[in-house]
Amino acid sequence: MKFSILDVETTGFSPQNGDRVVEIGVIRMDENGHITTAFDSLINPESEEVGPTHVHGITSAMVQNAPLFKDVTGPLLDALDGTIVVAHNASFDMGFLRTEFSRAHITLPKFRPLCTLILARRYLSHLSSKSLESCRSHLGLSNAGAHNALADARATAQVLQYFLENHPEIEFPEAFQSPGQKKVEGEMLFDFAGPILKPRG
């Protein structure tokens, strides 16, 4: 059983209203809970609008020369293929993911992600907030790099590990099966080693 834990930073809250992804991070974790590879990229939203810089720290200058989403679909599909896709508040991330892939003329298959927010509502019901930050704090995890996509993906992976270790009764959805092109060579899919915060610039 393998997992791909992802997080996106965006220009706003609604892909239906034209908001775009400006950063995506994916952590791939094996059946033993070990992080094996990671995918990380800033994304050019095809406009100067990058949304709340005070939250995600991304400026228009930082994404000016970043790849378009359509240019990273290959390595991204490769990162997700054959894994259970996981996110905190998965409906938010999946909504943006499907919309961005659709813009790139790729239709994702129907699949059900595993949502750590839903798991937090079930198993950490005593917390007043089930946000990723609250889960981090409750479990004693570092808050370094909050709202950096790769750092948030790593934190979500750690939250997932907690649930897996303490609640073996969790039922898992089927693994994601890529609809198309994969195995694109490049520097965005890399072995996991060292600091989780990939430098921006």
Of 54, 105, 147, 167, catalytic? 147
Q: Is 190 or 105 the better-scoring residue by pLDDT?
A: 105
- The arithmetic mean of pLDDT across residues 160-178, rounded, is 94
SS3 content of the chain, % helix, strand, coil (to 5): 35, 20, 45
Q: Binning pLDDT at 50, 70 and 90, where does residue 142 land?
A: confident
Query: With pLDDT > 70 as the criterion, what percentage of the chain qualifies?
Result: 88
pLDDT higher than threshold 90 for residue 144: no
Tokens of 119: 């798991």
Q: Which domains does the chain have, with CATH numbers?
A: 3-176 (3.30.420.10)
pTM: 0.89
The pLDDT value recorded for residue 180 is 65
SS3 of residue 160 by DSSP: helix
pLDDT higher than threshold 50 for residue 22: yes
Q: Is 177 or 196 the better-scoring residue by pLDDT?
A: 177
- The arithmetic mean of pLDDT across residues 145-154, rounded, is 86
pLDDT higher than threshold 50 for residue 30: yes
**What sign results for the dihedral spanned by CA atoms 179, 109, 28, 74?**
positive
- The arithmetic mean of pLDDT across residues 34-56, rounded, is 91
pLDDT higher than threshold 90 for residue 141: no
Backbone angles phi, psi at 7, to 5 degrees: -150, 145
Written as one string, the DSSP assignment of 119-136 is HHHHH-TTSS--SHHHHH
Per the annotation, the verdict on 88 as an active-site residue is no
The pLDDT value recorded for residue 186 is 45
Of 50-64, 104-118, 143-157, where does mean pLDDT reach its minimum? Answer: 143-157
Q: Binning pLDDT at 50, 70 and 90, where does residue 145 land?
A: low
CB within 8 Å of 147: residues ≥ 6 apart:
9, 55, 56, 57
